[in-house]
């Protein structure tokens, strides 16, 4: 994705027309609006919206960190670190790929936050409520992440909290980058019982290289969202010193299979295998979530621990 996809915030104060004194408790409390430009368009939304529907777990964990309540979310496959949102007080609005538009409409949200998995349904979401695309630009991950956090901070009146959180993230990234200077070249894989895909700089998991400072064993990999299919022979030939593995099956509830896939005789002489540097990353954080304050911090901690 191109950099112009990054969120650009334009705040404009709009005087709303006269309205009755009696208002619904769920209505936004301010008459100030924000116009938010994002990858899928430009969205005008009342500032500090009270009923929030969120389809991006990274955005959800940022809102949680900032102290912002949500009304509805897809409650299937909620990451373990966000399990509190499975409670009955939150409305289930379908799944990540199959939203329940009837349930969303009945909830009457003030704003809806979506990302890549729902991007093709943007117009349908927008018919219900102002909809903002908060997907991460993997080719400029940290800028995109920070833009999202700052936008959400402004939208919900949590600018100070957003600024403080980003400063803390920057400190942690600086520390992991220092550790990464001495680390061997590495490879990131999604592995399962049927296939393996590799990811390099600028890819879905490229922040390991682009932001955290590790060295990639292969800088020519396809940047496609699902990575580039690779074989055991490819891994042997590249011989990475560290292999980071994400188990997609475990993340989406289909059962863990990555460790079995990596337990292959062909890999026994690969440096990462010989030196016990095959690192299994959390599918909750890296596959289901990511791009939020809490998930970024968890990513940093996992990488730092592995070095």
DSSP annotation string for 25-82: TTS-S---EEEEEETTEEEEEESS-SSEEE--HHHHHHHHHHT---SEE--TT--GGG
Mean of pLDDT over the chain: 91
Q: Please count the other Cβ atoms lying within 10 Å of the Cβ belonging to residue 275.
A: 11
Average pLDDT over residues 34-49: 96
**CB 245 within 8 Å of CB 281:** yes
Total residue length of the chain: 307
pTM: 0.88
Phi-psi region of 103 (alpha: psi -120 to 50; beta: other; left: phi over 0): alpha
**CB 182 within 8 Å of CB 215:** no
| Structural domains in the chain plus CATH codes | 3-166 (3.40.50.1980), 178-306 (3.40.50.1980)
**CB 82 within 8 Å of CB 26:** no
d(CA 262, CA 147): 37
Task: Report the pLDDT value the prediction gives residue 254, as an integer from 0 to 100.
Answer: 86
d(CA 142, CA 267): 33
**What are the distances in angstroms from CA 113 to CA 68, 110, 135, 171, 299?**
13, 10, 9, 28, 22
Task: Report the pLDDT value the prediction gives residue 20, as an integer from 0 to 100.
Answer: 40
Quick: pLDDT tens for 221-268: 998 888 999 999 999 999 999 999 999 888 888 888 899 999 999 999
Quick: pLDDT tens for 145-169: 999 999 999 999 999 999 999 999 9
Ranges of beta strands (E only) in the chain are 8-12, 33-38, 41-46, 52-54, 72-73, 91-92, 111-114, 131-133, 186-191, 196-199, 228-229, 242-246, 278-281
| Nearest alpha carbon to residue 243 among 291, 197, 287, 301 | 197
């Amino acid at each position: 994705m191109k950099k112009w996809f990054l969120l650009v915030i334009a705040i404009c104060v709009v005087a709303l027309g006269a309205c009755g004194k009696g208002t619904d408790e769920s209505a936004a409390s301010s008459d100030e609006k924000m116009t938010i430009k994002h990858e899928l368009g430009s969205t005008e939304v009342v500032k500090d919206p009270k009923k929030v529907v969120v389809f991006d777990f990274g955005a959800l964990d940022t809102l949680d960190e900032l102290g912002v309540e949500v009304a509805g979310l897809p409650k299937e496959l909620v990451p373990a670190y966000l399990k509190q949102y499975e409670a009955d007080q939150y409305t289930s609005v379908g799944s990540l790929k199959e939203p329940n538009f009837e349930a969303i409409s009945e909830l009457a949200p003030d704003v809806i936050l979506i990302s890549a998995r729902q991007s093709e349904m943007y117009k349908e979401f927008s018919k219900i409520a102002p909809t903002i695309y908060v997907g991460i630009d993997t080719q400029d991950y940290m800028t995109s992440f920070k833009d999202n956090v700052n936008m959400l901070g402004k939208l919900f009146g949590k600018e100070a909290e957003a600024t403080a959180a980003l400063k803390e993230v920057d400190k942690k990234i600086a520390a992991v980058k220092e550790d990464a200077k001495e680390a061997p070249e590495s490879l990131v894989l999604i592995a399962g019982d049927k296939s393996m895909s590799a990811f390099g700089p600028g890819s879905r998991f490229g922040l390991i290289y682009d932001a955290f400072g590790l060295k990639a064993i292969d800088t020519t990999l396809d940047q496609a969202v699902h990575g580039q299919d690779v074989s055991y022979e490819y891994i042997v030939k590249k011989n990475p010193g560290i292999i980071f593995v994400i188990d997609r099956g475990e993340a989406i509830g289909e059962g863990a299979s990555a460790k079995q896939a990596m337990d292959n005789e062909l890999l026994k002489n690969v440096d990462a295998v010989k030196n016990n540097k095959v690192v299994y990353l959390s599918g909750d954080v890296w596959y289901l979530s990511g791009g939020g304050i809490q998930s970024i911090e968890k990513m940093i901690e996992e990488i730092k621990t592995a070095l």
